[in-house]
Structure 1
Amino acid sequence: MLQSSQKLLTALVTLLDDKLLTKITTLDLIRTAGISRSTFYRHFQDKFRFFDWVKSYLLNLFLKDDYSNDTPISYYTRFFQHFADYRQAFKSFILEGRWQNFEREILVSGADNYSRLLTKHLDESAPIKTIATYIVSAHIGVAINWLTEDDAHSPAQMAVIMTRLTNSILANYDLTLDTLMAK
């Protein structure tokens, strides 16, 4: 399934260069991916089930991302690279509202991760969950703006900007991203 699904994902990204998501048909996907109709229907009931698979696949890029050996810059570069690699898919799904819970799922997962990191450095009187949610909400907002505005900054440039912004928030609690991400 993985090889056919990857071909379909590549086909979707290609098709999104010229077509709106709502105008892409199952036949478009099959022809562009170079797979048979039976292969498509063996894995997906219809194009909407395929779109749901794409959502899960792209969401897992963020949820399963391991930052344990990263610097803040390398982590955020990879964060923005995920968006860049599938820019058209993210733009289409987010702007057309197909993924109503996508942003929420990233927010909850990211806030949980930041909460765990913050708990190691702040006492319980600090509003840890609020700080974590604020940081991750800002990250998502910046990423969506970067996608929708077709911002010319590279993922590496966005990583520098995101690191600076996040460090300015953490400075209020005498923390830095380097401190949070240290082993």
Structure 2
Amino acid sequence: MERRKRRTQKLIIDTFFKLLNEKSFDKITVNQLTKLADINRGTFYLHYQDKYELLEGTIKDYINHMNQYCLHNKEEISSALTLAFNYLKDNYKFIEPLLRNEGYQLFQNELKSSISSFIETSDLFDLHVVSILKKKAITSTILGVIEWWLLEDELNASPSDIAAELKDIVFLIIR
């Protein structure tokens, strides 16, 4: 992607999050976004069909970045989980507005899909032994802990502590 296009997309996304911190998603308009970003509406529409595509694309990008960030640690669950929790903590200022807006369900679905994919592709789980029910339980457990940590604990517990406890819980499920 050319440099100018990346810079414009970053400007749109940064402006979107600025607005998302000020008001709910349903109150944000493309017109407000383009005025604040100092771009014309046509420029916005070159990159996104509407604000919903912007929201969905942004969430997918954050989840994909998290996956890439954690990819090299698929062999060790606590390392992968620690990296994932570190990524979520480092990007909390962008993720937090999604959690309290319309993006919550989209974020939750993308995260759930990412966790399921991790379980399916990781060497940590003998997929012949781990039943579908156990895979679902592991996915739900990890997702539930992430949501609790982000929404209720507000990042107070350290990523490594959360990952260590979560690893123990996951292996209890597998047994």
Regarding TM over 0.5, the answer is yes
Match for 1:3: what amino acid?
R
CA contact (8 A) 2:17 2:94 kept: yes
**Do the aligned partners of residues 24 and 159 (structure 1) sit closer, same or farther apart at CA in structure 2, a change above 3 Å counting?**
farther
1:177 aligned residue: none
Alpha-carbon distance between aligned partners in 1 of 2:91 and 2:34, rounded to the nearest angstrom = 19
Q: Deviations over 1:11-57 (max 9, x none)?
A: 22222222222222223322333433331122223222222222322
| 1:17 has 2:17 as partner | no
Q: Is the 8 A contact 2:63 2:114 kept in 1?
A: no
Q: Of 45, 48, 52, which residue of structure 2 is paired with 1:44?
A: 48
Per the alignment, in what secondary structure is the counterpart of residue 22 of structure 2? coil
Q: Which runs of 5+ in 1 are unaligned?
A: 175-183
> Structure 2 matches for 1:137-176, cutoff 5 A?
137-149=140-152, 151-153=154-156, 157-170=158-171
Distance 1:39 1:97, change over 3 A: closer
- RMSD of equivalent CA atoms: 3.2
Is residue 27 of structure 1 aligned with residue 31 of structure 2? yes
- Distance in 2, Cα, partners of 1:95 & 1:73: 28
Aligned length: 170
Which amino acid in structure 2 is aligned with residue 117 of structure 1? Answer: S
Unaligned runs of 5+ in 2: none
Give 1:98 deviation, angstroms.
Answer: 4.2
Higher relative contact order (CA 8 A, sep 6+): 1
Higher helix share: 2
**CA–CA separation in structure 1 for the residues paired with 2:55 and 2:125:** 40
Instruction: Evaluate the alpha carbon distance shift between residue 53 and residue 104 of structure 1 in structure 2; reply closer, same or farther with a 3 A threshold.
Output: closer
SS at match of 2:23: coil
The TM-score, its normalising length taken from structure 1, stands at 0.70
Q: Give secondary structure in 1 for the equivalent of 2:71.
A: coil
Structure 2: distance between partners of 1:33 and 1:85: 24
Matches within 5 A, 1:1-183: 1-69=5-73, 72=77, 74-87=79-92, 89-98=94-103, 100-117=105-122, 122=126, 124=128, 126-149=129-152, 151-153=154-156, 157-170=158-171
Give TM-score scaled by structure 2 length: 0.72
Distance in 2, matches of 1:65 and 1:149, equals 25
In 2, the alpha carbon distance for the partners of 1:171 and 1:58 equals 30
Instruction: State the percentage of identical aligned residues.
Output: 22
Where 1:151 maps in the other structure, the secondary structure is coil
Partners of 1:115 and 1:44 lie apart in 2 by 32
